Amino acid sequence: MAAVVIAAALPAVRVVAGQADPLPARLQHGELPIVSVQAVAAGEVLLSLNVSATGSVGAVDVLRATPPFTDAMVTAVRNWRFVPASDEQRKPMASRVLVGGMFSAPSLRVPTVGDPPRDAAPPATALPMPLTTPMPLYPPSARSGGTVMMETLIAPSGKVVAVTTIRSNPPFDEPAMEAARSWLFRPAQGPGLPLNTYAYLIFAFRQPLVGASPK
């Protein structure tokens, strides 16, 4: 799947007395999760990645889970690579990165089965945590399924101020970007954190199967 990168606004940097604000980790390379065609329900997954000072992914904490999508997400992100976060003196440092996955159901008018999303761990205060997570609608021009990944830049207010397409799959890019812009976050809290934070959102569209209306 071709990668398309659109320039996003860089975090504001404040320099005072030879020091600057910390910078967040930023994705350098990451593959998409492989979604089983047997999955018949919608899903939502939230992961907290422990990114080392060298940019590799260590521990992966599951904050919100939906089988079988959780395992696919965890498997994919373990091989992601980042430009590591840096402190006030621009020294690389370990950090946490939020990754969200939204998976549409492959049906419009027939009931789906499966487990609903569940919170698997308390919200992480050092991460921006989503308060609203709208899933984009399947575009009428699409003829199959597709998955896209968006990089979102989150301001201290919790609003998304920039969206970058990391993995492109037309015609799903535009609805995914519109959905990502409408996500609202509870800002990260804690000392030594960057003013702005990147979070990565994966939207998996599956071609709807329209069945008869249930009686």
**13 occurs within a structural domain:** no
**Residue 5: inside a domain:** no
Choose among 144, 130, 112: nearest CA to 43. Answer: 112
Q: Is residue 9, in this structure, part of any structural domain at all?
A: no
Query: What pLDDT does 13 receive?
Result: 47
| pLDDT tens per residue across span 116-128 | 889 998 888 999 9
Residue 183 in any domain: the answer is: yes
Report the pLDDT value the prediction gives residue 11, as an integer from 0 to 100: 47
What is the reported pTM? 0.86
Rounded mean pLDDT of the chain? 86
pLDDT at position 10, please?
A: 46
Pairing of strands 197-205, 95-103: parallel
Torsion of CA 161, 55, 53, 125, to 10 degrees: 40
Domain for residue 182, yes or no?
A: yes
Residue 47 domain flag: yes
**Domain span holding position 140:** 19-30+40-205
Q: What is the pLDDT of residue 129?
A: 95
pLDDT digits 0-9 by tens, 176-188: 999 999 999 999 9
Q: Give the DSSP letter string of 107-146.
A: BSSS---SPPPEE-SPPPTTS-EEEE-PPPPPPTT--S-E
Q: How many domains does the chain have?
A: 1
pLDDT of 151 > 60? The answer is yes
Place of tokens 């005072």: 16
3, part of any domain:
no
Q: Domain holding 77: CATH number? A: 3.30.2420.10
Q: For 3-57, what is each residue's pLDDT tens digit?
A: 433 333 444 444 444 568 899 999 999 999 998 766 778 899 999 999 999 999 9
Residue 115 covered by a domain = yes
Q: What was the pLDDT predicted at 131?
A: 95
